[in-house]
């Protein structure tokens, strides 16, 4: 429930300032915590499109992609 409230607030912030990278990253993290990996990656990729060297988005996106990558046993 706390993530729902946080997500609502981040979305409101992004309506006012669509390129607010901190809010984009935090929204991505909230999606990730709610097990919405594809939405989280969208947010991290959006943050990286705005700030290609954003270390938070880069680190979180890489970690999430690693977790989602098929393991040899599931290929």
pLDDT at residue number 71: 77
Helix, strand, or coil here: 8? helix
Check whether 48 has a pLDDT greater than 90. Answer: yes
pLDDT at residue number 47: 98
What is the band of 75 on the pLDDT scale with cuts at 50, 70, 90? low
Topology of domain 2-74 in CATH is: 1.25.40
Spatial separation of the C-alpha atoms in residues 10 and 25, rounded to whole Å:
9
Query: Between 38 and 75, whose confidence is greater?
Result: 38
Q: pLDDT tens digits for 1-38?
A: 788 999 999 999 999 999 999 999 999 999 999 999 99
């Amino acid at each position: 429930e706390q993530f729902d409230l946080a997500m609502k607030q981040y979305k409101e912030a992004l309506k006012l300032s669509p390129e607010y990278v901190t809010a984009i990253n935090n929204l991505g993290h909230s999606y990730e915590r709610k097990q919405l990996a594809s939405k989280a990656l969208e947010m991290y990729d959006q943050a990286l499109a705005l700030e290609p060297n954003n270390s938070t988005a880069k680190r979180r996106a890489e970690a999430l992609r690693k977790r989602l990558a098929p393991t040899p046993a599931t290929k």
